[in-house]
Structure 1
Amino acid sequence: MTTRLEDNFRPSDRKNLATRGVHSVTDLFRFFPRRYLVPGERTELGALPLGETAIIQAEVITVSTRRMKQRRGTITEVVVHDGRQSMKIAFFNQPWLEKALSPGLTVVFGGKVESYRGQLTLASPVWLNRTEDDHDWTPDDLDSPFPIYPAVKKIAQSRLWSAIKTLLSVAGPEEFADPLPKGLRDKHDLPDLRTALEDMHKPRRIEDVERARLRWKWEEALALQTEFASRKASFAAVQATPLLTRGPKSRRFDESMPFTLTPSQVRVGEEIAEDMGRDQPMHRLLHGDVGSGKTLVALRAMLTAVDSGAQAAMLAPTEVLATQHFHSIQSLLGEQMALSPLLSEDDQVTVALMTGSMAARERRELALDLATGTIDIVVGTHALLSESTMFESLGLIVVDEQHRFGVEQREAMRAKGGVTTPHTLVMSATPIPRTVAMTVFADLDVSTLTEMPAGPKDIATHVVPIVDQPNWFARARALMRETIEAGRGVFVVFPRIEPTDIEDPETGAVIGQKQGIEDLSRKLEDTPELKGARFGLLHGRMSTGEKDRVLKDFRDGDIDILVSTTVIEVGVDVPRATMMVIAEAENFGVAQLHQLRGRVGRDGSAAMCFMLTELSETDESYARLQAVAETLDGFALAEYDLDSRGEGDVLSASQWGGSSLRHLSILRDSEIVAEAKTVAEQIVEVDPTLEAVPALKAFIRRVLPEDDAHFIEAG
């Protein structure tokens, strides 16, 4: 017997296995059961839940076959009994069952629990404990937990189980090379790889399964942290140019600030300055709540680079955000801008904006200024990554919303530093729970802003169920009127640009249409409360010039109510805006709602946020909106989001790439993650290339494929 799938499964079977991610014997060994039936635990047939898939173990009482009247074929009815209650289960067009299922036989059936003529039954039932040769299980099989595998088309559970057991018995030692060091296994009483695989597929006790499952968590944690440690070590081996901790431009900027830095801004600034003063490139994450002053911290770091004779670049994912950062930096620098006649040329700080929508001539001129060192700080989008964009001396890269850039893009930016690698500061616009930071950002040093520059925000937040409480929406519109009459601005956020069809989930027929952003704007304009208000529209299909003009008009007070998509979610700063209305709030995530709400009250004024929803107050998702309404603490909301949705959603595919992590939970297994980090660092310190641990190296590539490994830098 060989350990190849080709010798154990037909081509059609292998094709069906491939749809489940099984392409090799190694994959098959790790195709684990989704649950187990423990023999001896009699199922109470009368307590089976309707609508759920169930596994029952019972004794056959009678079996009979008859022809169906309404359609061609046969029906075999099997009556089983669990010692308390009987159940009739029907099998269609399987007359051979009448001979195979004899009274007194203990059977294991699976299927969806349904009610037929007032009695429970199983829909589309499957006989699970039938072997290929129609013989009963061995006594050992009947006394052990029975594995229930994820369904594979046209492969019976019993045949799949039999094949795995056979392959486990004949596989060579190469299939059991263990990625976990023996010392780690001994310390935590973890089974070796062969034992753990056997415990998953043919356990003697259910406790064996739990012990094996713990091992899989350690495997994935060690693979993840070893990859992080390897990346961190390789990055630290690269040469960087040390940058001054303080210079004349930095000092003058600090002295000119009309406000005092928060303690965490001071602390984080010192952490960044210390990193930048080394000859190894900084690789640090900066995160904090909405309005915690990340841009100011980043600007102080960029001025450090400029003081050292280097250039700094800030990379933003959208033109709206890049433009907003550019204007914010201009405003913060004040008289240190290049156009100031009060300063000598040597004392000036030149700042530029580069986007893809710039005219070709303007972009060429800017590229020349960057290449000759005329520009000190450039803020831009992906346009900064083009081959034609060169720097005279790039010393610092600030990446905002870094999860929107692939690793190749960030590496392309780092390569523009020339002989040495620029220091890198990456920023996340949302607070990150400690458990997430420890796992997803383990290759970065993490700095956290914990205070608000203007103190705690005052944003009264309310959920408005417009179906259950239509009068609440009318009151919200009245408050919008009061807000604009007080000379303040109102944001209205909507999830769609164009109208979309509403389809019947059963037939696919179009039964209605959801409004687009222009429809919403017109409806608001026509309401009695908002007659005469000056409305503006902002969305992603507008040109950069149009977006800038609309935002300027809103900022200057020429627009009262700005109806926008989520392009204003991050970075947009309009101090006069004190009210936010989010329509169809149920379509936004917790973090997104918190980000949007953070666009108002940015000057310290009291503000309001209304989240409109068609959900009933009794709907489960309504609780998510209520959670946002009850706190302004972004860190608390991040923890709530992680706890309620689970990391499978919070760390979505866009963040985790194509990783094959299946067992590790960053929420529940933080202690394992932390200890695995220590072990991984010890391994990489003595063996940076992992040549001495080939099984671990191979497992890392299995769990974190090289083409998808960029997920570990996302967030």
Structure 2
Amino acid sequence: MTTRLEDNFRKADRTHLAKRGVHTVADLFRFFPRRYLVPGESTRLGDLPLGETAIIQAEVISVSTRRMKQRRGTITEVIVHDGEQSMKIAFFNQHWLDKALTPGLTVVFGGKVESYRGQLTLASPAWLNRTEDDHEWTPEDLNSPFPIYPAVKKIAQSRLWSAIKTLLSVAGPEEFADPLPKGLREKYDLPDLRTALEDMHKPRRIEDVERARQRWKWEEALALQTEFVSRKAAYAQENATPLLTEGPKSRRFDSSLPFTLTPSQVRVGEEIGADMGREQPMHRLLHGDVGSGKTLVALRAMLTAVDSGAQAAMLAPTEVLATQHFHSIQHFLGEQMGLSPLLSEDDQVTVALMTGSMPARERRELALDLATGNIDIVVGTHALLSESTIFENLGLIVVDEQHRFGVEQREAMRAKGGESTPHTLVMSATPIPRTVAMTVFADLDISTLTEMPAGPKNIATHVVPIVDQPNWFARVRTLMRETVESGRGVFVVFPRIEPTDIEDPETGAVIGQKQGIEDLSRKLEDTPELSGKRFGLLHGRMSTGEKDKVLKDFADGDIEILVSTTVIEVGVDVSRATMMVIAEAENFGVAQLHQLRGRVGRDGSAAMCFLLTELSETDESFARLQAVAETLDGFALAEYDLDSRGEGDVLSASQWGGSSLRHLSILRDSEIVAEARRVAEQIVAVDPQLDAVPALKAFIRRVLPEGDAHFIEAG
């Protein structure tokens, strides 16, 4: 027996294992059981889910074998009982079971639950708690937790378990190089890697499994924190050009503001200014609730960069968001914004927008202006990352919606600073819970905006269960009409552009169709309450020019009711809008609902938000919508979202760009994370390159691959 996967599994089996993320023996060792059957647990045979694979534990009552009449071979019928109900299970061409299975024996069977002649049974059953070689009953299996692995196509549980146990016994020491330092294991009573793997796959007691699980949490916490501490140490070795804390352009801007900055905007501005005044580059995260004034804070920082003779760039993930930021900056600067490099006066700021859809000629001209220093501030999408985009003197990068950019993309942008590394400010659209900030943004300093510029918002939010309470939707439409007739605007948000088929979950047959955004708009226009009102449509497939015109018409009142997808989620500021209706609200996340709701009442006026749902009030997901309705506190909702969804969703692979954190809970394991941070700082202080801990270094690359987009999905 060798320790190569190809010598233990057929090519087809390896293909199925690869789909489960198992490519090496090390991967197989970390392919852990999803649960364990603990001896003594009773299984209710009557509650087995029809059509699903199930594991049962029961006592053998009788066994009989006979030859089949219609085809060659034998059938062994085993009757088992769980103390409440019996079940007959048939095994084909396994006549040896007649002797191996004896009445009174406790067995564990697995198979697909089916109905035969009105009785539940297991199709293609497998006897799990036996050895693979001689089919003999092993008494110690009955006295130990039995591992149940995630299903791998075409590979029986027993064969998978047998292969793992065999490989564990023959693998060499290189497979058990331990990422956790010995001193840390001893201090916290953690098993070494080999022991922990054996405890997961061959536990004698369920307590062994729990002890091993604690170790996996420490592994991931230490890997994560060591990576972040290493990054922070690397940042400290970089050189940046110190920038002014203020200058003529930033002073003119501050004096022209028609309102007073909030105390937290002042405090955060001072934190950013202090960072940018140093010779090491700033790496700071800015977050706050919806409408807390993050864009204004970022603009003030960019103006101080311009005062220092440097350029600033704001990077946004989409053209819609980049365009909205450009218009926001244009609005804030007013007459201080220069129309073009040629027409700008000395005390003005030249701002440009760069996107991938720009005509080639305009983009070449803009690239030339950036390279020659004629542009002070540029707002753009990934187009800013291209090799052809060169800056004369890039001093500050502002990254918005930073979770959508990976490390490689940020590094590509920072490399545009030449010999001097630009300062970096990253922004999150919604608040980040403290536990998440400590875990996921540990390589960044953090600034938090805690106040709202216009004071606390007044948005009355209501959940409307249109199936349980069909008359309520008519009342919502009446309120839409009244809002429009008072001179205010109404947003209607919808999750889809095109209609989509509704499929039967069992057969896959199309049984209906969900409406698209145009269908919804027409239905609303045809209702008696909204007949004759001026509707507009907005979605991501429209051109930038079309979207800009629709938003302008809505802001001017030419459009009274704007039916839109989530393109309005961030950055849209239409002060006359005081009502929002979100259709199929159950299809949006908590943070997204809160973000959308923030588009109304932006001038401080009282506003309304209605969450329409087909969910019943008894549905578990209804509570999520109710939570949004009950508070306007984005920080509280962020904590609720994390708690209710769990880290499995919040830190999913799609949001972490391929990271494989599986055991660490940022909610429940905050003490482990904090202690791992201290250990990581000690390691990096004496060994910045991690040469003395190669196993930890390798594990970091396993958990956080190179170029990993490791930032949390804030929306």
TM-score range relative to shorter protein = over 0.9
Bigger drift between 452-461 and 384-393 goes to 384-393
Question: Residue 635 of structure 1: CA displacement?
Answer: 1.3
Question: Residue 500 of structure 1: CA displacement?
Answer: 2.1
Cα deviation digits, residues 127-161 of structure 1 (max 9, x gap): 11222233424444443333222333444433433
Aligned-CA RMSD value: 2.8
Q: Structure 1 pair 343/157, CA: closer, same or farther in 2 (3 Å)?
A: closer
Q: Structure 1 pair 498/247, CA: closer, same or farther in 2 (3 Å)?
A: same
**SS of match in other structure, 2:579:** strand
Bigger drift between 199-208 and 684-693 goes to 199-208
**SS of match in other structure, 1:220:** helix
Contact 2:341/2:350 (<8 A) preserved: no
Q: Structure 1 pair 654/27, CA: closer, same or farther in 2 (3 Å)?
A: closer
Q: Structure 1 pair 365/153, CA: closer, same or farther in 2 (3 Å)?
A: closer
**SS of match in other structure, 2:430:** coil
Bigger drift between 90-99 and 524-533 goes to 90-99
Contact 2:130/2:141 (<8 A) preserved: no
Cα deviation digits, residues 465-517 of structure 1 (max 9, x gap): 22222221111111111111111111111112222222333333333322222
Q: Structure 1 pair 513/209, CA: closer, same or farther in 2 (3 Å)?
A: closer
**SS of match in other structure, 1:708:** coil
Instruction: Return the alpha-carbon distance in structure 2 between the equivalents of residues 22 and 339 of structure 1.
Output: 57
Q: TM-score, normalised by structure 2?
A: 0.94
Question: Residue 244 of structure 1: CA displacement?
Answer: 0.9
Bigger drift between 65-74 and 269-278 goes to 65-74
Cα deviation digits, residues 192-231 of structure 1 (max 9, x gap): 1121122222222221111111001101111111111222
Instruction: Return the alpha-carbon distance in structure 2 between the equivalents of residues 24 and 560 of structure 1.
Output: 60
Question: Residue 703 of structure 1: CA displacement?
Answer: 1.9
Contact 2:226/2:684 (<8 A) preserved: yes
Bigger drift between 639-648 and 42-51 goes to 42-51
Bigger drift between 15-24 and 521-530 goes to 15-24
Contact 1:129/1:136 (<8 A) preserved: no
Contact 2:407/2:707 (<8 A) preserved: no
Instruction: Return the alpha-carbon distance in structure 2 between the equivalents of residues 491 and 72 of structure 1.
Output: 70
Question: Residue 339 of structure 1: CA displacement?
Answer: 5.7
**2:603 alignment partner in structure 1:** 603
Q: Structure 1 pair 713/508, CA: closer, same or farther in 2 (3 Å)?
A: closer
Bigger drift between 369-378 and 473-482 goes to 369-378
Instruction: Return the alpha-carbon distance in structure 2 between the equivalents of residues 713 and 615 of structure 1.
Output: 26
Cα deviation digits, residues 245-297 of structure 1 (max 9, x gap): 12222222222222121121111111111111111111111111110000111
Q: Structure 1 pair 478/86, CA: closer, same or farther in 2 (3 Å)?
A: closer
Contact 1:407/1:713 (<8 A) preserved: no
Instruction: Return the alpha-carbon distance in structure 2 between the equivalents of residues 501 and 26 of structure 1.
Output: 42
Q: Structure 1 pair 176/234, CA: closer, same or farther in 2 (3 Å)?
A: same
**1:625 alignment partner in structure 2:** 625
Instruction: Return the alpha-carbon distance in structure 1 between the equivalents of residues 545 and 43 of structure 2.
Output: 68
Question: Residue 358 of structure 1: CA displacement?
Answer: 2.8
**SS of match in other structure, 2:111:** strand
Question: Residue 357 of structure 1: CA displacement?
Answer: 2.9
Bigger drift between 510-519 and 173-182 goes to 510-519
Question: Residue 571 of structure 1: CA displacement?
Answer: 0.5
Instruction: Return the alpha-carbon distance in structure 2 between the equivalents of residues 340 and 3 of structure 1.
Output: 66
Contact 1:656/1:714 (<8 A) preserved: no
Question: Residue 22 of structure 1: CA displacement?
Answer: 2.6
Contact 2:76/2:93 (<8 A) preserved: yes
**SS of match in other structure, 1:551:** helix
Q: TM-score, normalised by structure 1?
A: 0.94
Bigger drift between 80-89 and 514-523 goes to 80-89
Instruction: Return the alpha-carbon distance in structure 1 between the equivalents of residues 523 and 37 of structure 2.
Output: 58
Instruction: Return the alpha-carbon distance in structure 2 between the equivalents of residues 385 and 84 of structure 1.
Output: 67
Contact 1:286/1:427 (<8 A) preserved: yes
Bigger drift between 462-471 and 306-315 goes to 462-471
Bigger drift between 650-659 and 3-12 goes to 3-12
Q: Which runs of 5+ in 1 are unaligned?
A: none
Question: Residue 33 of structure 1: CA displacement?
Answer: 2.1
Contact 1:489/1:560 (<8 A) preserved: yes
Bigger drift between 505-514 and 337-346 goes to 337-346
Instruction: Return the alpha-carbon distance in structure 2 between the equivalents of residues 259 and 384 of structure 1.
Output: 33
Q: Structure 1 pair 689/70, CA: closer, same or farther in 2 (3 Å)?
A: same
Instruction: Return the alpha-carbon distance in structure 1 between the equivalents of residues 208 and 384 of structure 2.
Output: 55
Q: Structure 1 pair 123/623, CA: closer, same or farther in 2 (3 Å)?
A: farther
Instruction: Return the alpha-carbon distance in structure 2 between the equivalents of residues 143 and 502 of structure 1.
Output: 48
**2:380 alignment partner in structure 1:** 380
Instruction: Return the alpha-carbon distance in structure 2 between the equivalents of residues 178 and 341 of structure 1.
Output: 59
**1:583 alignment partner in structure 2:** 583
Question: Residue 457 of structure 1: CA displacement?
Answer: 0.5
Bigger drift between 308-317 and 115-124 goes to 115-124
**SS of match in other structure, 1:350:** strand
Cα deviation digits, residues 282-314 of structure 1 (max 9, x gap): 111111111000011101101110111111111
Contact 2:591/2:714 (<8 A) preserved: no
Bigger drift between 614-623 and 308-317 goes to 614-623
Q: Structure 1 pair 170/581, CA: closer, same or farther in 2 (3 Å)?
A: same
Contact 1:659/1:711 (<8 A) preserved: no
Contact 1:655/1:714 (<8 A) preserved: no
Instruction: Return the alpha-carbon distance in structure 2 between the equivalents of residues 279 and 33 of structure 1.
Output: 51
Question: Residue 442 of structure 1: CA displacement?
Answer: 1.4
Contact 2:129/2:141 (<8 A) preserved: no
Instruction: Return the alpha-carbon distance in structure 2 between the equivalents of residues 352 and 13 of structure 1.
Output: 55
1:30-109 maps to which residues of 2 (within 5 A)?
A: 30-41=30-41, 55-66=55-66, 75-81=75-81, 86-109=86-109
Instruction: Return the alpha-carbon distance in structure 2 between the equivalents of residues 486 and 262 of structure 1.
Output: 31
Q: Structure 1 pair 274/576, CA: closer, same or farther in 2 (3 Å)?
A: same
Contact 2:405/2:709 (<8 A) preserved: no
Contact 1:440/1:713 (<8 A) preserved: no
Contact 1:397/1:423 (<8 A) preserved: yes
Q: Structure 1 pair 130/687, CA: closer, same or farther in 2 (3 Å)?
A: same
Bigger drift between 505-514 and 443-452 goes to 505-514
Q: Structure 1 pair 132/323, CA: closer, same or farther in 2 (3 Å)?
A: closer
Bigger drift between 420-429 and 76-85 goes to 76-85
Question: Residue 544 of structure 1: CA displacement?
Answer: 1.1
Contact 2:337/2:349 (<8 A) preserved: yes
Question: Residue 589 of structure 1: CA displacement?
Answer: 1.3
Contact 2:403/2:709 (<8 A) preserved: no
Bigger drift between 567-576 and 511-520 goes to 511-520
Q: Structure 1 pair 380/28, CA: closer, same or farther in 2 (3 Å)?
A: closer
Q: Structure 1 pair 112/432, CA: closer, same or farther in 2 (3 Å)?
A: same
Question: Residue 45 of structure 1: CA displacement?
Answer: 5.7
Q: Structure 1 pair 645/245, CA: closer, same or farther in 2 (3 Å)?
A: same
Cα deviation digits, residues 623-674 of structure 1 (max 9, x gap): 2212111111111111111111112212333321111222111122121112
Cα deviation digits, residues 595-614 of structure 1 (max 9, x gap): 11110000000001112222
**SS of match in other structure, 1:252:** helix
Q: Which runs of 5+ in 2 are unaligned?
A: none
Q: Structure 1 pair 207/713, CA: closer, same or farther in 2 (3 Å)?
A: same
Contact 2:488/2:577 (<8 A) preserved: yes
Contact 2:651/2:713 (<8 A) preserved: no
Contact 1:63/1:102 (<8 A) preserved: yes
**SS of match in other structure, 2:9:** coil
Bigger drift between 599-608 and 560-569 goes to 560-569
Question: Residue 387 of structure 1: CA displacement?
Answer: 2.6
Question: Residue 407 of structure 1: CA displacement?
Answer: 2.9
Bigger drift between 692-701 and 132-141 goes to 132-141
Contact 1:336/1:343 (<8 A) preserved: no
Instruction: Return the alpha-carbon distance in structure 2 between the equivalents of residues 70 and 495 of structure 1.
Output: 55
**SS of match in other structure, 1:709:** coil
**1:565 alignment partner in structure 2:** 565
**1:176 alignment partner in structure 2:** 176
**SS of match in other structure, 2:707:** helix
Q: Structure 1 pair 15/484, CA: closer, same or farther in 2 (3 Å)?
A: closer
Q: Structure 1 pair 495/155, CA: closer, same or farther in 2 (3 Å)?
A: closer
Instruction: Return the alpha-carbon distance in structure 2 between the equivalents of residues 258 and 654 of structure 1.
Output: 42
Query: Do structure 1's residue 366 and structure 2's residue 361 form an aligned pair?
Result: no
Q: Structure 1 pair 328/150, CA: closer, same or farther in 2 (3 Å)?
A: closer
Question: Residue 5 of structure 1: CA displacement?
Answer: 3.0
Q: Structure 1 pair 48/499, CA: closer, same or farther in 2 (3 Å)?
A: closer
Instruction: Return the alpha-carbon distance in structure 1 between the equivalents of residues 360 and 133 of structure 2.
Output: 75
Instruction: Return the alpha-carbon distance in structure 1 between the equivalents of residues 651 and 83 of structure 2.
Output: 47
